[in-house]
Amino acid sequence: MKKIISKSVIETENIAEKISSFLKGDEVIALFGDLGAGKTAFTRGLARGLGFCDGVSSPTFAIINEYNARYSIYHFDMYRIKSEDDLYSTGYYDYLHNGIVVIEWSENIEEYLEKDCIKISLSYGKKENEREIKIYGMEEYEDFIS
Ligand SMILES: Nc1ncnc2c1ncn2[C@@H]1O[C@H](COP(=O)(O)OP(=O)(O)O)[C@@H](O)[C@H]1O
Ligand SMILES: [Mg+2]
């Protein structure tokens, strides 16, 4: 596990951009964290790192947004997903490994996540714009992420 303190939304985006440079294009990135923790900011940085520079916002109502970047990015918001049936009906299993899947509110589908997915938890720090970012499942690249 790698732990990083971000001091601003720009830092969070930059950390995500750095992480994007180690992706092969078929990963699942499960984001954990409360409202306002920075999951969407993280996704924006990741997408930017892969060459997608348009708007990235939480797909709360749409459930999924798709961005065509160096790889296809499938951005899920699982806020309303409460069961495996719900998950199935989003098409999640069809998108899996056909691009990069980024998931907000992974808490809601944690038991259905694959064991080898990348997990990133974002939580509020001591100061207003501080966030603690913990990265699990990128051990090979940890030394290059800061
Ligand atoms: N270090 C930080 N990293 C990310 N967001 C931050 C940080 N500091 C303050 N913020 C603010 O917190 C909010 C994060 O929003 P967002 O990324 O939409 O969170 P989430 O998707 O987790 O609900 C934004 O308003 C952003 O400006
Ligand atoms: Mg969000």
Residue nearest to atom 1 of ligand 1 (CA): 8
- Percent of the chain at pLDDT above 90? 96
What's the average model confidence in pLDDT over 3-32? 98
The Cα–Cα gap between 19 and 2 comes to 12
Q: From the CB of 31, is ligand 1 less than 6 Å away? A: no
Under 8 Å between Cβ of 50 and 20: yes
Residue nearest to atom 27 of ligand 1 (CA): 9
Q: From the CB of 58, is ligand 1 less than 6 Å away? A: yes
Residue nearest to atom 9 of ligand 1 (CA): 129
Say if residue 1's pLDDT is above 90: yes
**Tens of pLDDT, residues 32-91:** 999 999 999 999 999 999 999 999 999 888 899 999 999 999 999 999 999 999 999 999
Q: What is the pLDDT of residue 23?
A: 98
Say if residue 139's pLDDT is above 90: yes
Q: From the CB of 135, is ligand 1 less than 6 Å away? A: no
Say if residue 109's pLDDT is above 90: yes
pTM: 0.97
Q: From the CB of 9, is ligand 1 less than 6 Å away? A: yes
Dihedral angle computed from the Cα positions of residues 81, 99, 119 and 56, in that order, rounded to the nearest 10 degrees: -70
Question: Which ligand ends up closest to the CA of 79?
Answer: 2
Which domains are present in the chain?
Answer: 2-132 (3.40.50.300)
